[in-house]
Amino acid sequence: MDLHKFQHFILELDFNKILESSKLNQLEVPKDEQIESDYLCKIPISFGDESEYQKIWKPLFYEEVKANIVKSFQTETYPDVEYKFDKHKKDEFTKLDFQLIGQKDQLNFRDLILISCSPYKQGDQCLLGLIENNQDIIRVNVQNNFEPIAALFEKNMIINQQNPNQKSLKNFFIRKVTGLSTLEREFRALHKFGELMLKSILLSLEAQPKVNSYFTIPYKLDQKLHSIYNSSQYEAIQQTLKTHGITLIQGPPGTGKTKTVLGTLSVLLQSKQERPELNLVQKTSLEIEQEFNQEYPQPWKSLDYDDWRDHIFDDVEQDISNYFTNRLSDFQKEKPQPIYKSDYSQAKIPNKILVCGPSNASVDEIIRKVLEEGLLDDTGQRADVPIVRIGENFDPTLSKVSLECLVQQRVYEQQNQDTDKVKKEILNQAKVIFGTLSSSGSNVLALSELKFDTVIIDEAAQAVEISTLIPLQYGCRRLILIGDPNQLPATIFSSICGKYKYDQSLFERLQKQGANVHLLKTQYRMHAKISKFISTTFYGSELNDYEYLERLIGTPKFYDYYTYSPVVVLHVKGYENFTRNSYCNEMEAKVVTELYKDMKNKFPTFNMNNLGIVSPYSQQVWLISKQLKKMNEENVEVKTVDGFQGREKDVIIFSSVRSKFISENQKNPKKGVGFLSDARRMNVSLSRCRQTLIVVCDIYKISCNERWRNLINYSIQLGSCYRVGTEDISEWFQSFDQDPLKYAIINEITFKKKEKPEQVKK
């Protein structure tokens, strides 16, 4: 079995060695010259063939697997549990049987474990194992190399002092490292890449049909779509009706991406036979009509048109007995012109759709909307379509559509104990099946023999490409990727893989090849002053505000105070501190907590659950949470940027942390601002708010980055950039309310590069 190759790779790893090497990589992201390798290659935007695809992706995948194992071991606190060795045998793997001593453990099938002679400490002799089953006796697969196994057993051996020939084994200790299910599913998907129907397009976009054929939808449904979707949403939904190929939809913050997914599901489920081949990519209805008229001229509409039928007999002689015979022979000599028909014209209409996302949260958000609003039938009316949610760790409020709950309910109602048969029936009856990218590779679907010709992946820009391959293995011929490459990328653990673009999504790779990306252009979330900066900085000024945005946003009472204007920058002179592999700034944390307290006191009717606090650094999140806890405010949502992806709040307070100083009299020797300069993180940080954005920062430090400097200058232009007095912050708030102009910063920040001194000529 091909999966055994992957498992052998894992089990033969030297755990202590990869743990040590990971520490070296964590000190600093390696530079290009430090990661040159004979087997690692940067991921290109296109591939020549399947062999090249596998050759480039597999070594990087293995590198990321090692980093994943180390990260899980370092962050999870699984206990070392004592086991008694029972017996062993050799098969595809060496199989060791152990009996639990004491309380029951938490080991599951396919868990990666660490076997040691005592509770593990770095450097101890150990062996990696894979749980094959966990009954009364647990069976563990380990590598077939006899030497490390023998060495471990030798170390754990007790020799009878009175009879040296009599030996016995001490108990072993087993500790869970991580679950391997997702990694195994990614490996399987990569290994089966050559079997995918979309393989050619995934390798290179040149294989995408130049002229697409489309399904059509009922007229009443089309009219309904026109009435409830804006023009960019409608055009994007129309593009998902392609009979074959890949569609990319980019959804900037607040543009109704989830709503567009619902529209896409509605049209796909109600689609009929394909319509004539027209290239409708990003064209208005007027442009389409003009193009049609150019390709199929209609000269009779012109006022000076001379109808040929008026002159048909002008040149005919009086004797016309042979005229029609001659004309018939001319027609017979003419060769018939072939009518173009798409290679994919015989595609069946979508019958069953698989909807996936990289996280449970992204999938559950769509399900929640489907249950609340429903989909549309062929007349444009609400239709409750049978749906199923597969996988675990879903929102408990959605349990009524989870596969396990549906199976339990039907087994009870029908008194049918054949749960596998019931499970198949439910999956067959469902029109749309939802699950994470990982759960789409579980046995639930793999053994069901179901086919999904259409796959929709939400938040596609947050998934590594290999994860995106998992749901495509069920006969997918239509792939719809919905996401935003201008927001957070996929999370990976290997800094080396990051240098080779392993975190680049399939969406982004296809976009770089020149794929048509259908941008949702109307935003409904942010105050116009916030969205103006977001649009200009991250979307080339293509993001527009909803016509009646002011009605949606409202005019909250706190707009009466300068501190809570739509865009506010507060300059704080604090000290940057590096601790526990992260940064924090105590003075900024104090300002943030005082802001929270000030707002709560001034606006008692405001729901403080609609306020969020964001920082790019986990240590700052911990520090702010700690200070709020002292105020008995434990329910405030304080998270890193990653934790707020896909979320929104009325008010966002952002703490940038980085400062020009590391102590009162010591300047910061670091010139840059680290990953604070990452454009995608900045976009997510600033676009979570609806009404007010407050940035707490050292403006003279973060202004070394052009985008942050533009934000500071933008706030100065708006008259909402202020200097915070740090001696007594609570008193500063009182003073500020009385005379805000006293603290206003009015001069825009410029950034001059230091010129290198000219060399003196000898």
Sign of CA dihedral 703, 707, 712, 716: positive
Q: Does the pLDDT value for residue 233 go beyond 60?
A: yes
Band the pLDDT of 566: cuts 50, 70, 90. very high
Number of H helices, E strands in the chain: 26, 31
Cα–Cα nearest to 594, from 628, 566, 620: 628
Q: Which of 75-84, 144-153, 725-734, 747-756 has the lowest mean pLDDT?
A: 747-756
Distance CA 452, CA 441 (A): 13
Say which range, 23-27, 349-353, 357-361, has the weakest mean pLDDT: 23-27
pLDDT bracket for residue 300 (50, 70, 90): low
The pLDDT score that the predictor gives to residue 165 is 72
Which has more pLDDT, 696 or 208?
A: 696
Does residue 567 register a pLDDT over 80?
A: yes
Q: What's the mean pLDDT in 700-715?
A: 96
Mean pLDDT check: name the lowest of 272-286, 404-418, 733-747.
272-286
Number of Cβ within 10 Å of residue 183's Cβ equals 21
Percent of the chain scored above 70 by pLDDT?
A: 86
* Position with higher pLDDT, 753 vs 139: 139
User: pLDDT digit string (tens) for 359-409?
Assistant: 999 999 999 999 999 999 999 999 989 999 999 888 899 999 999 999 999
Structure tokens at 624: 């702010």
Q: How confident is the model at residue 101 (pLDDT cuts 50, 70, 90)?
A: confident
Is 433 in contact with 427 (CB distance < 8 Å)? yes
The pLDDT value recorded for residue 136 is 77
- Are β-strands 94-100 and 111-116 bridged in parallel, bridged antiparallel, or unpaired? unpaired
What confidence score (pLDDT) does residue 761 get? 44
Answer whether residue 229 shows pLDDT above 60.
yes
pLDDT digits (tens, 9 = 90+) for 627-669: 999 998 888 999 999 888 778 999 999 999 999 988 877 888 8
The confidence band for 34, taking pLDDT boundaries of 50, 70 and 90, is very low
Read off the pLDDT band of 301 (50, 70, 90). low
Q: Is the dihedral of CA 469, 471, 476, 481 positive or negative?
A: negative
Which pLDDT value is given to residue 328?
47
Q: How far apart are CA 195 and CA 460, in angstroms?
A: 22
Structure tokens at 468: 């995106």
**Do 719 and 676 meet the contact criterion of CB atoms below 8 Å apart?**
no
Q: Average pLDDT of the chain?
A: 87
- pLDDT value for 340: 31
Mean of pLDDT values over 552-577: 94
- What is the CATH number assigned to the segment(s) 528-743? 3.40.50.300
Query: Residue 282, by phi and psi: left (phi above 0), alpha (psi -120 to 50) or beta?
Result: left
Predicted confidence at residue 630, as pLDDT, reads 92
User: Which DSSP string do the residues of 325-370 spell out, in sequence order?
Assistant: HHHHHHHHHSPPPPPP--TTTTPPPP--EEEEESSHHHHHHHHHHH
Higher pLDDT, residue 213 or 246? 246
Do 528-743 and 214-273+347-388+426-520 fall under one CATH topology? Answer: yes
Note the helical H segments in 447-548: 465-469, 495-499, 506-512, 528-538
Average pLDDT, integer, range 460-470? 97
pLDDT(220) > 50: yes
Mean pLDDT of the 470-486 span = 96
Residue 185 has pLDDT above 80, yes or no: yes
Range in 420-424, 515-519, 533-537 the model is least confident about? 420-424
pLDDT tier at 333, thresholds 50, 70, 90: very low
Lowest mean pLDDT among 16-20, 126-130, 468-472: 16-20
Average pLDDT on 497-505 reads 94
CATH 3.40.50.1820 fits 214-273+347-388+426-520, yes or no: no
Q: What percent of the chain has pLDDT over 90?
A: 66
Can you tell me the distance from the alpha carbon of 487 to that of 495, in angstroms, rounded to the nearest whole number? 19
Reported as a single tens digit per residue, the pLDDT across 577-607 is 998 889 999 999 999 999 999 999 999 999 9
Check residues 303 and 743 and name the one with the higher pLDDT: 743
Contact partners, residue 677, CB within 8 Å, separation at least 6: 705, 707, 708
Tell me the average pLDDT across 492-506.
93
Buried b (16+ CB within 10 A) or exposed e, 74-92: eeeebebbbbebeeeeeee
Between residues 579 and 755, the one the model is more confident about: 579
**pLDDT over 60 at 543, yes or no:** yes
Q: Is the pLDDT of residue 291 over 80?
A: no
Query: What's the mean pLDDT in 264-276?
Result: 83
Domain limits of the chain?
1-27+37-183, 214-273+347-388+426-520, 528-743
> Averaged over 47-52, what is the pLDDT?
95
| Confidence category of residue 757, pLDDT binned at 50, 70, 90 | low
Average pLDDT over residues 550-561: 93
Local confidence band at 36 (pLDDT 50, 70, 90 cut-offs): very low
pLDDT at 261: 97
Write the DSSP string, 188-234: HHHHTGGG-TTHHHHH-GGGS-SS--EE---HHHHHHHHHHS-HHHH
Instruction: Among 377-391, 551-565, 745-759, name the one with the lowest average pLDDT.
Output: 745-759
Angle, CA of 366, 372 and 376, to the nearest 5° = 80
* pLDDT above 60 for 507: yes
